[in-house]
Amino acid sequence: MSNLPLDMSRSATALTMLIALACVGCKARELGANYSDTQSETVDNTWVTAVESCWPAVAHQGYSTEGVKHYLADPLHFRAAFTVYAPLSDETLRSTVAAPVTNAPMPDISVLMHTRSPILSRAQAATGSVANPATVPGADSLCTIQPGLPVGFR
């Protein structure tokens, strides 16, 4: 009988953790579904190739070039696809996506430091060359090869 409150407490804690974990995914989908107030007027084609290199499911799902550009023109979706540029302002991202990948500012590779996934440089991703990915990030690393779709792409 004395263990009953402890067991109930453990069950309540486990249930709370499960709900919190599920809500993290809900919040990410919620944030990814929203759009920024202003999108870029143009998206360079190298960013389309890069997102298809980093997220192969984008190409396999049959997204059109214009469909991918629609998502990448929005800073929120761009950040979901390329987390190395997440710290940049919306204004900077709108100008970044309008120019070729190789002209983009140096990425913040700190988000790639503990990955176990293959890492692509900006040049590899922009040309669709996924041969010989790195195993540790370098100064020019853009992304890891990811399963699924970036948050907000549907």
DSSP 64-113: -HHHHHHHHTSHHHHHHH-GGGTTS-HHHHHHHHHS-GGGSPPP-GGGGT
Q: What is the pTM of this model?
A: 0.76
Inter-residue contact 92 to 106 (CB < 8 Å) = no
pLDDT of residue 152: 85
Q: What's the start-to-end Cα distance of the chain, in Å?
A: 51
Domain count, the chain: 2
Within a domain: 51: yes
The whole domain housing 56 covers: 45-144
Rg of the chain over CA atoms, in angstroms? 19
Within a domain: 150: no
Within a domain: 112: yes
Within a domain: 39: no
* Same-domain status, 106 and 62: yes
* Same-domain status, 49 and 121: yes
* Same-domain status, 8 and 71: no
* Same-domain status, 26 and 86: no
Residues of the chain where predicted confidence (pLDDT) is lower than 70: 1-37
pLDDT of residue 60: 93
pLDDT of residue 5: 52
* Same-domain status, 82 and 113: yes
Strand-pairing partners, residue 143, are 120
Q: Which two tokens stand for residue 30?
A: 């919620």
DSSP state at residue 144: E
* Same-domain status, 69 and 118: yes
pLDDT of residue 72: 96
* Same-domain status, 27 and 79: no
DSSP state at residue 134: B
